[in-house]
Chain A
Amino acid sequence: KAGVTQTPRYLIKTRGQQVTLSCSPISGHRSVSWYQQTPGQGLQFLFEYFSETQRNKGNFPGRFSGRQFSNSRSEMNVSTLELGDSALYLCASSLAPPGPHEQYFGPGTRLTVT
């Protein structure tokens, strides 16, 4: 069974631009969560999607948004990029709720904002 995939793997953007990241979960997994990983803040939860609905949201500004499609693939968008948004963005997939279920991470998208 193929693992979680994320595209693109690397991105370089300029302050003020926007970016869209994509995540394809493991086949059969219907829940997708997003996390931001930075050296200073560690791993922080962004949001979780199931059945095309956001189930949970972390403490990030409204510039961070996401969505999920009917095939469970998910995208996250960051608008008006700031230097502090430079991070590794990880998505994790798991089985449908109710959980808790094991979460399996993708390889991440390394975003650099200049």
Chain B
Amino acid sequence: GENVEQHPSTLSVQEGDSAVIKCTYSDSASNYFPWYKQELGKRPQLIIDIRSNVGEKKDQRIAVTLNKTAKHFSLHITETQPEDSAVYFCAASQGVTGGGNKLTFGTGTQLKVEL
């Protein structure tokens, strides 16, 4: 089955700096890659996603890139703010090619934005 690895497990940046979180997946059939943000005691919140027919997607300060050949995708947060502090999870899904909506998650990255 699919396996998703996520690095780093913890990331500390200064306010205003950029943060990058990287994930690799094992199954070339995966075609949908969402990112979730989970604050302490809260539900995972979808912040951005990318499909396999797109190499990059951006939404204000957040961007995701996908390299299908290397089977890795990354989350980029620019101009970080204290409210960006949370645990971020990447995930992969095979969608219509199999596996339905099943998401396989990475192990999470604890991002801390320091003042």
Contacts and interface: CB of A to CB of B under 8 A. Distances in A.
Interface string A89-114: 01010100111111111111000000
Contact of A105 (B32, B44, B51, B101): B44
A7 B100 CA distance: 25
A24 B68 CA distance: 35
B105 A103 contact: no
Interface stretch (A11-19, A40-48, A61-69, A73-81): A40-48
Interface string B87-104: 001010111100111111
Which one of A43, A55, A58 has the highest number of Cβ atoms from chain B below 10 Å of its Cβ? A43
Nearest to A45: B102
Contacts, number: 73
B65 interface: no
Contact of B31 (A35, A100, A102, A106): A100
A101 B31 CA distance: 11
A39 B31 CA distance: 27
Contact of A106 (B34, B43, B46, B96): B43
B105 A42 contact: yes
B61 to A, nearest CB: 20
Contacts of A99: 32, 93, 95-96, 100-101
A101 B43 contact: no
A94 B93 CA distance: 13
Given A33-B102, A43-B91, 13 more contacts: A42-B107, A50-B100, A56-B101, A97-B96, A97-B101, A98-B95, A98-B96, A99-B100, A100-B31, A100-B95, A100-B96, A103-B34, A103-B103
Interface of A: 31, 33, 35, 42-45, 48, 50, 55-56, 58, 90, 92, 94, 97-108
20 contacts: A31-B100, A33-B102, A42-B105, A44-B105, A45-B102, A48-B100, A56-B99, A56-B100, A56-B101, A90-B44, A92-B103, A97-B96, A99-B96, A100-B94, A100-B95, A100-B101, A101-B101, A102-B34, A104-B46, A105-B36
Interface of B: 31-32, 34, 36, 42-46, 49, 51, 89, 91, 93-96, 99-108
